[in-house]
Amino acid sequence: MSDTIERIKCLIIGSGPAGYTAAIYAARADLQPVMYTGLQMGGQLTTTTEVDNFPGYPKGTDGTAMMEDLKTQAERFGTEVRFGLATEVEFSKEEGGIHKITIDGVTAIEAETVIISTGATAKYLGLESEERLKGGGVSACATCDGFFYKGQDVVVVGAGDTAAEEATYLSNICKSVTLLVRKDYMRASKAMQHRVQKTKNLKVLFNTEIDVVLGESVVEGVRAVNNQTNEKHDIPVTGVFIAIGHKPNTDIFTDILDMDEAGYLITKGKSTKTNLPGVFAAGDVQDKEYRQAVTAAGTGCMAALDAERYLGSLE
């Protein structure tokens, strides 16, 4: 570790819409923010080929281009964007205390305020064909990408409320939806199960998993397998939506910050304040309900304002 420890007024851990928006607001408030992007610069949105639902892009854009726009805007106001991963934290419990963060296991820095925007990672099935066709018909967000499959046949994988909600959402857009459930029952609430059962163009296949996603550059179907009989059959579809949950990127904050049973950081009321003074959380790392780029950006704005007001209260 370096002998000289850098002191930062506002440290942003993680990029993406929440991190970059926090950086824009923090920089304009003269907080001289420094951002460490994490290993996936730009966050989950960089895995999305087309973005049509973010305000200000009337013709749409792609996720990587949009994150570059946000990065450029943040840098325009003086944000210092660095590529690196926070690997250890030691947060102060005192008002006005200094927080210590280790980057890449080597560099120690100190910060007066910390904004956490490390996001969440969608869970996938782990198939090679699934990985290869991400962005080519495989998605983990029906709300984000469902529009592109209007009038087409799609598959949803999952058994909980999220899967049921995404399947019924897609049923309003797509020609047909096939919901693949690994077990012989759904984990979704009874209300959501009733909604699924009442949807005419939605079919549920129990004890069914994806053996392989078919297609070279775009999805052309899935090969489904009955895990009781091992019988396989092909389902021709153009979209595959994986709805088996997300994992918030909060491992380094375990036993330090308050989080729920799934690992999402808990913030106070309508603010972005965590249980420790001067530490704030924005975006998907604290939002398991909406998980949209625009809502993440909104909480990024809130976090910067909360950090500015916190520092102002110490003067």
Count of CB atoms situated within 10 Å of the CB of 8: 20
Rounded Cα gap, residues 59 and 68, in angstroms: 17
Catalytic site residue from 10, 69, 144, 255: 144
**∠143-280-36 over CA atoms, to 5°?**
80
Tokens 């909360």 locate to 306
**Helices and strands in the chain, H and E counts:** 7, 17
CB 271 within 8 A of CB 302: yes
- Which one-letter DSSP state was computed for residue 237? -
Rounded Cα gap, residues 249 and 288, in angstroms: 12
Q: Which residues pair with 279 in a beta bridge?
A: 114
Catalytic site residue from 10, 62, 104, 141: 141
144 included as an active-site residue: yes
Rounded Cα gap, residues 246 and 147, in angstroms: 21
CB 122 within 8 A of CB 145: no
Catalytic site residue from 145, 284, 287, 306: 145
CB 61 within 8 A of CB 14: no
174 included as an active-site residue: no
Nearest to 239 by CA among 161, 142, 169, 168: 142
10 included as an active-site residue: no
Backbone angles phi and psi of 270, in degrees to 5: -95, 10
Give the residue numbers annotated as catalytic, written as ranges. 141, 144-145
